Amino acid sequence: MIKFYLGQEPILENVPTYLASEETDRNYIMENLGQMVVKAANESGGYGMLMGPAATAAEIEEFRKRIVADPRNYIAQPVVRCRATQLLRPRFWRRHIDLRPFILYGEKHMSCRAV
């Protein structure tokens, strides 16, 4: 969107996204289900997601079956952990977020990174 609307290169990278509809991506997803966040591509609000690191073996296997049955409906991303800077004083509550905000303030910024 930045390129399209502003004609500029983005300053921050997007989170890598793997499409289960693509064979190479699907193979990677299947090998790493326990370490990834898997989402239905046509839904919103965080419903029907797999949080791999927090999932049970049964939940992981259920998502494996769902992906095989309907690969076009799923995407996967690595888990993103956010770090907060001093901009969030006096208090910061850690929460999982779907929309990753970045606050730019001169040379300093709040950043999220994929792990």
pTM: 0.68
β-pair partners for 114: 80
Torsion of CA 65, 67, 73, 79, to 10 degrees: 120
Mean pLDDT of the chain: 79
pLDDT at residue 53, as a whole number: 93
Domains and CATH numbers, the chain: 18-78 (3.30.1490.270), 81-114 (no CATH)
Q: Sign of the C-alpha dihedral, residues 91, 96, 98, 103?
A: positive
Q: Say how far apart CA 64 and CA 29 lie, in whole Å.
A: 9
Mean pLDDT, rounded, for 70-97: 69
Per-residue pLDDT at 17 exceeds 80? yes
Torsion of CA 43, 47, 48, 52, to 10 degrees: 120
Mean pLDDT, range 10-23, rounded to an integer: 89
DSSP state of 8: S
